Amino acid sequence: VLESMHGTIYCLTGRHVNKNLSAFVIFLFLLIAPAAYTQTNNPKGLKKPDITTRIWLGSHVLPGYGQVYNRDYWKIPIFYAGMGTMAYQGYQMNSDYKKWQKTYLALPTSDPDREKFKIKATEYRQNRNLYYAAATAFYLASVSDAVLVYNRGKHSPAAASILSTLVPGMGQAYNGAYWKIPIIYGGLSTFYFIIDWNNRGYNRFRTALFNLIDGDPATVDEFNGTRTQEELRYYMDNYRRNRDLSALGFAVVYALNIIDANVDGHLYDWNVDDNLTFRVEPAVFNPSQNLTYNTPAFGVSCRVTF
């Protein structure tokens, strides 16, 4: 039995089914596609889909698409200039890196200048990576800007999911849950460190194993032949397995970051007012409509006030 009066719902329970939103359903939905549709009312009272995902995909395929849709035409030259300049500088650094690396590899190991070429090649490689990272940052900024501007004045779960997909923690910042950002980056950083540490161990034992199998006196075995092939292969496989498991953990934290942003986006406008209460108490009722014959009935009253 349901009765609504002045914002209060009374429920008499014999059998009451409580429908909860499952996080697993949200996870499956997120795997199929980002939360692409939120609903807004138009003047005719009809429902129309939110096109946040269309803007997101369009901006990925053609940077500037979102700015055209939002009519922020003046931003397009800025993003393209940033991406073009950084990509060109990265290309130049990559060309110089290949030249220095080629010279370094061509020099004999006894050449005293060989280490200088290696250092120089490493510097060009690092600069190349920084320029490419800057070009990627301009690209992601153009996509994020398109999504944020389109959803200005409203809160979109799709936008939160997309932002956390582009930059982990950005969706949490969009939802106002800033305290979660250090947790996300702490998890990602931890798994990244474990991946790197195990990968270095894997490469170390793999190199030693190859040198031992090769049997070339010119090759250097850091263990000086004290470990057998079986031992080297055992440690190499362990490091590789731990590296792969850590990579899986990194992916899980990254996925949870997106799911959390999506769920928080849906619950952003959830009513958490102090007037929202849920009370369960015993009650006595009289189901008979005959005023001359009153038989009491015992039950449970559930009251939700909002």
Q: Name the residue with tokens 């429920």.
A: 11
DSSP characters over 106-174: HS-TT-TTHHHHHHHHHHHHHHHHHHHHHHHHHHHHHHHHHHHHHTTTS--HHHHHHHHHHSTTHHHHH
Q: What is the Cα 230 distance to its own chain's centre?
A: 40
pLDDT computed for residue 293 by the predictor: 55
Q: Which residues pair with 283 in a beta bridge?
A: 299
Say if CB 52 and CB 159 are below 8 A apart. Answer: yes
**Strands across the sheet containing 297-305:** 2-5, 8-12, 297-305, 277-285
Q: By C-alpha distance, which of 146, 140, 148, 138 is closest to 70?
A: 146
pLDDT computed for residue 21 by the predictor: 37
pLDDT computed for residue 265 by the predictor: 87
* Helices within the chain (DSSP H only): 23-32, 52-61, 65-70, 75-106, 114-150, 157-166, 170-175, 180-214, 229-266
pLDDT computed for residue 215 by the predictor: 64
Q: Which residues pair with 76 in a beta bridge?
A: none
pLDDT computed for residue 92 by the predictor: 95
Q: By C-alpha distance, which of 227, 229, 194 is closest to 214?
A: 229
pLDDT computed for residue 24 by the predictor: 40
pLDDT in tens, 97-145: 999 988 888 888 778 888 888 899 999 999 999 999 999 999 999 999 9
- The span from the CA of 14 to the CA of 3, in Å, is 15
Show the low-confidence residues of the chain (pLDDT under 50).
1-48
- The span from the CA of 218 to the CA of 221, in Å, is 10
The identity of residue 304, as a single letter, is V
What is the reported pTM?
0.63
